């Protein structure tokens, strides 16, 4: 107990020294961390004659259907509404934090009237009327930086929520584009499978004619019909996958399904993304990616909260003042009094059972946890870019190989079909040639799709166009917030 009194005395001496200086902040200055990253990318970089900007990158697809889907998804999105609501909460917290640093002024007034006494000659009744009004003011002097740290924490939180809105827009756009690309690839697969079904159906018809004439065995007819039914089943499954992607786009855009299907019917083919510059260094991801910028702002908020907890362990000084007026009417006799008071109020923490130290330890632990999270997310961001570069390079090379392979299988099937019709090839060999041709065509579609999807993944891994649009596209205010 004696030690606590001595410490309190030292703190009191410190406050007496700080009053003339107006502030003796105990808050540590926040320094933005710089996690260690590689000096350059290890994966191969894509090469192209023209390099587009990430700003308005989606418009460079030159796909009107995709443009409209992206616009519709941004109009009314629950994820964006949640992000906007979080911004409004953060703005309110900033206002509340600012209010702590300015004087508080309140006014009270009252009028009372009462009657008492026996109402006889010995004890006549009396009437008392009291009118009063007072004005009270108080101001907590920010001696040790608690109010300043609270403001810093609130501002960092607001900045993080604004960045989160940009991050939500980027993620939403990427999700819409991914589903759209998958839908176009699914359509192309349906077209290939439909052609395969029509071809097999025609083969079954010709085999049936041949079997009836006695030129083909009944087993050939059974094989042809079985292959046709299998092809029909595969086609139905692929069409169901396309319908599922339409449902996903309905959920993302909130468009009525008939209107969405009509919009999708106005376009066809795989969208082609513009190539953008990926030569930026890994260290640039710290500011390029919104999720890492959010981590950094959360870390700044945690650092400020450490300062708040630290400042609460020191004395707090408030200046208070009051002026008042009172009028009393007692049975017609009126008296008036004025009052005023002012002076400092000192709150000195002496013994709290360790609560304040526990709060400080918790704040520091939270900061350490967020710092570790930030470092982990930086590593993950670098990994995502490296993986996207590898996958993009692989998809580009495989697309060329699959295209060449499909052309050869197409020629092989045509030759096999001619040979079968002339009787020089059995039906089983023809179906094997057809299967290889179909698989090659589907592989081409898959690699074309993967190439576009990997460009989208690389776009997102680089942080999209957040840096380019954060100054020009700001989170909108709700009508009640507009000034």
pLDDT of 264 reads: 93
Residue-range definition of the domain harbouring residue 137: 103-141+315-348
Query: What is the pTM (predicted TM-score) of this model?
Result: 0.80
pLDDT of 301 reads: 92
Q: Same structural domain for residues 90 and 35?
A: yes
Identify the three-state secondary structure at position 108. strand
**CATH assignment at residue 340:** 2.20.200
Residue bearing tokens 């909460």:
89
Whether 301 is in a domain gets the answer yes
Mean pLDDT value across the chain: 82
Last residue of one domain, picked from the residues 331, 348, 365: 348
Whether 210 is in a domain gets the answer no
Last residue of one domain, picked from the residues 302, 328, 348: 348
Length of the chain: 483
Token pair of 255 as six digits: 């468009």
Q: Same structural domain for residues 398 and 341?
A: no
Distances (CA, A) of 125 to 112, 115, 324, 330: 17, 7, 29, 11
Q: Same structural domain for residues 414 and 450?
A: yes
Last residue of one domain, picked from the residues 348, 370, 393: 348
CA dihedral sign, ordered 465, 471, 472, 475: positive
pLDDT digits (tens, 9 = 90+) for 383-398: 888 888 888 888 888 8
Whether 338 is in a domain gets the answer yes
Is 319 buried (19+), middle (13-18) or exposed (0-12) by CB count in 10 A?
A: middle
Q: Same structural domain for residues 195 and 275?
A: yes
Q: Same structural domain for residues 193 and 165?
A: yes
Q: Same structural domain for residues 321 and 460?
A: no
pLDDT of 434 reads: 80
Q: Same structural domain for residues 398 and 366?
A: yes
Residue bearing tokens 């923490």:
349
- For every residue of 358-425, DSSP letters joined together read HHHHHHHHHHHHHHHHHHHHHHHHHHHHHHHHHHHHHHHHHHHHHHHHHHHHHHHHHHHHHHHHTTSS
Dist. CA 430–CA 438, nearest whole Å? 12
Q: Same structural domain for residues 290 and 395?
A: yes
Whether 17 is in a domain gets the answer no
Name the domain count of the chain.
2
Q: Same structural domain for residues 97 and 110?
A: no
pLDDT of 48 reads: 57
Whether 214 is in a domain gets the answer no
pLDDT of 123 reads: 52
Q: Along the 483 residues of the chain, how does pLDDT read in single tens digits?
A: 445 444 444 444 444 444 444 456 777 888 888 887 777 777 777 765 456 667 778 888 889 999 999 999 988 889 989 998 999 999 998 888 888 878 888 888 888 888 765 555 555 667 788 888 888 888 878 778 888 888 889 999 999 999 999 899 999 999 999 999 999 999 999 988 888 888 888 888 887 887 787 777 788 888 888 888 888 898 999 999 999 999 999 999 999 999 999 999 998 888 888 777 777 777 777 888 889 999 999 999 999 999 888 888 888 888 888 898 888 887 778 788 888 888 887 777 887 778 888 988 999 999 999 999 999 999 998 888 888 888 888 888 888 888 888 888 888 888 888 888 888 788 778 878 888 888 888 888 888 899 899 989 988 888 887 766 666 666 766 654 544
- For every residue of 141-158, DSSP letters joined together read E-SSSHHHHHHHHHHHHH
Q: Same structural domain for residues 76 and 162?
A: yes
pLDDT digits (tens, 9 = 90+) for 56-68: 788 888 899 999 9
pLDDT of 471 reads: 62
Q: Same structural domain for residues 307 and 319?
A: no
pLDDT of 273 reads: 83
Token pair of 61 as six digits: 């697809």
Token pair of 265 as six digits: 């019917």
Q: Same structural domain for residues 38 and 59?
A: yes
Whether 460 is in a domain gets the answer yes
Q: Compute, in degrees rounded to 10, the torsion defined by CA atoms 39, 43, 49, 54.
A: -70
**CATH assignment at residue 150:** 1.20.1600.10
Whether 211 is in a domain gets the answer no
pLDDT of 116 reads: 65
Starting at the earlier edge strand, list the strands of the sheet with 333-347: 104-116, 126-141, 316-330, 333-347
Whether 8 is in a domain gets the answer no
């Amino acid at each position: 107990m004696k030690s606590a009194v001595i410490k309190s005395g030292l703190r009191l001496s410190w406050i007496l020294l700080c009053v003339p200086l107006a502030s003796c902040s105990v808050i540590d200055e926040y320094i933005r961390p710089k996690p260690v990253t590689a000096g350059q990318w290890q994966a191969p970089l894509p090469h192209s004659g023209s390099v587009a900007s990430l700003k308005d990158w989606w418009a460079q697809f030159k796909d009107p259907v995709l443009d409209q889907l992206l616009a519709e998804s941004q109009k009314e999105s629950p994820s964006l509404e949640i992000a906007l609501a979080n911004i409004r909460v953060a703005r309110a917290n900033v206002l509340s934090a600012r209010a702590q640093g300015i004087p508080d002024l309140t006014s009270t007034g009252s009028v009372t009237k009462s009657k008492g006494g026996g109402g006889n000659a010995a004890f006549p009744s009396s009437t008392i009327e009291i009118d009063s009004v007072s004005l009270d003011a108080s101001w907590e002097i920010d001696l040790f930086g608690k109010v300043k740290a609270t403001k810093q924490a609130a501002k960092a939180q607001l900045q993080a929520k604004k960045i989160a809105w940009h991050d939500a827009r980027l993620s939403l756009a990427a999700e819409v584009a991914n589903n759209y690309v998958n839908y176009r690839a699914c359509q192309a697969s349906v077209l290939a499978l439909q052609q395969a079904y029509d071809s097999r159906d025609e083969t079954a018809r010709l085999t049936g004619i041949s079997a009836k004439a006695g030129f083909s065995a009944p087993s050939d007819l059974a094989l042809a019909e079985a292959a046709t039914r299998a092809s029909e089943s595969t086609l139905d499954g692929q069409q169901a996958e396309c319908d599922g992607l339409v449902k996903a786009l309905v959920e993302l855009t909130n468009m009525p399904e008939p209107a969405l299907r009509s919009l999708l019917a106005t376009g066809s083919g795989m969208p082609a993304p513009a190539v953008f510059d990926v030569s930026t260094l890994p260290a640039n991801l710290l500011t390029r990616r919104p999720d890492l910028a959010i981590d950094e702002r959360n870390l700044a908020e945690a650092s400020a909260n450490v300062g708040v907890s630290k400042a609460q362990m020191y004395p707090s000084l408030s200046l208070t003042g009051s002026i008042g007026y009172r009028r009393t009417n007692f049975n017609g006799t009126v008296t008036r009094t004025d009052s005023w008071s002012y002076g400092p109020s000192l709150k000195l923490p002496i013994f709290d059972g360790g609560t304040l130290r526990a709060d400080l330890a918790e704040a520091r632990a939270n900061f350490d946890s967020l710092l570790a999270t930030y470092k982990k997310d930086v590593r993950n961001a670098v990994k995502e870019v490296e993986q996207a570069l590898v996958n993009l390079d692989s998809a580009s090379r495989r697309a060329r190989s699959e295209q060449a392979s499909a052309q050869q299988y197409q020629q092989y099937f045509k030759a096999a079909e001619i040979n079968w019709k002339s009787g020089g090839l059995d039906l089983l060999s023809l179906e094997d040639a057809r299967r290889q041709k179909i698989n090659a065509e589907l592989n081409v579609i898959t690699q074309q799709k993967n190439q576009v999807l990997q460009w989208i993944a690389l776009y997102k891994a680089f942080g999209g166009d957040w840096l380019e649009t954060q100054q020009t596209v700001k989170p909108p205010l709700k009508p009640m917030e507009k000034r």
